[in-house]
Amino acid sequence: MADAKEIDGGVREGRRERKRRQTRERIESVALSLFLERGFDGTTIEDITEAADVSKRSFFDYFPSKEEVVFAWQDSFSDELADAIAAQPKDASIAEVIEGALTSALLAASSDPQHLAIAVLIRDTPALCARNQLKYAKLEEKLTEALYARSGGAEEERFRLRLLSAIVVSTLRIGGERWNEGLQEASLQDFAHHVFEELWTALSELGTLLRQRNPNR
């Protein structure tokens, strides 16, 4: 059990790992094609495994359920967002950090044209809608952690940051819906910037409104 095939410090991908990765990618790609073609419910695991040329049993060795194939890519988005937050300039305001990081993560994600089709698929499949909401919850957690890690970390800040994360993720969700409904005339950057403008303005006005109504608190 000595370490094998190590070259300049990194473990190079052996045949096993390579094949496993390829199989996983093949299943994912084939499954998504079929989902888009025949719908999620109209595609059986057998359809997928036949097209991907693996046994039905092997499918569950790669993905715990049919749904997870659709959401496999989601984890990477959370991670990218967290990285992007850490990468924002030190002197940026919290609004700039969030807007900057989210915009760059969104741009990276949208480079894959399949994502739009997947979004539509999710919207039109009730079973996927529920699972999709869970994605937002996870994203919210990650975002909170990333913001908390960045901003010194006073315990009293936690609620505020959690709330802010929730607000941002909600905005992402609402904005995403609007983007999918609309005609995508503007570029994603411009659209995102516009939505953030609305967000900051709305929050700012909301703050004013609340302070006026509860002046003594």
Q: Is 217 in the site for its own copies (CB under 8 A)?
A: yes
* Position among 7, 8, 10, 57 found at the interface with DNA (CB under 7 A): 57
State the Cα–Cα distance between residues 35 and 39, nearest whole angstrom. 4
Q: How far is the CB of 137 from DNA (least distance, A)?
A: 19
**CB of 104 or CB of 171, closer to its own copies:** 171
Q: Which is nearer to its own copies, 111 or 214 (CB)?
A: 214
Which of 130/210 has CB closer to DNA?
130
**What is the closest distance, in whole angstroms, from the C-beta atom of residue 211 to its own copies in the complex?**
5
Helix or strand holding residue 72 (H, E):
none
Provide the token pair at 138: 């996870």
Binding of DNA by 5 (CB under 7 A): yes
Half-sphere exposure of 87 (CA within 13 A, CB side): 13
In the bound state with DNA, the residue whose beta carbon lies nearer, of 70 and 192, is 70
Task: Name residue 113's amino acid.
Answer: P
Contact in structure between 48 and 31 (CB atoms under 8 Å): yes
- By CB atoms closer than 10 A (0-12, 13-18, 19+), residue 121 is middle
205 binds, among DNA, its own copies, none (CB under 5 to 8 A by kind): its own copies
Token reading at 84: 């992007």
Q: Which residues bind DNA (CB under 7 A)?
A: 1-2, 4-5, 14-17, 19-20, 23, 43-46, 53-58, 60-61, 64-67
